[in-house]
Amino acid sequence: MPQETSQLMVRGGGRLSVRSHPGDDQGSYNILGCFFDKATTNPFRPGEAKWSDGRFLSNDEPDILQQEVAAGVTSADWFTDLRDPKKIWSFHVVNTNQGVFKVISAEPVQIPPDAIPD
Provide the pLDDT confidence category of residue 3 given band limits of 50, 70 and 90.
Answer: confident
Q: Are 49 and 57 in contact (CB under 8 A)?
A: yes
Helix (H) or strand (E) holding 70: strand 64-70
Query: 3-state class of 25 per DSSP?
Result: coil
The closest alpha carbon to 108, from 84, 20, 32, 118, belongs to 84
**Given this model, what pLDDT does residue 96 score?**
96
Entry pTM: 0.92
The predicted-structure confidence for 49-103, as pLDDT tens digits, reads as follows: 999 999 999 999 999 999 999 999 999 999 999 999 999 999 999 999 999 999 9
In the sheet with 37-38, reading across from the earlier edge strand, the strands are 17-22, 29-35, 64-70, 101-108, 88-95, 6-11, 48-51, 37-38
pLDDT digits over 91-107, tens only?
A: 999 999 999 999 999 99
Q: Which domains does the chain have, with CATH numbers?
A: 6-115 (2.40.50)
Nearest of 85, 104, 106 to residue 94 by alpha carbon: 104
Distance of CA 9 to the CA centre of its chain: 7
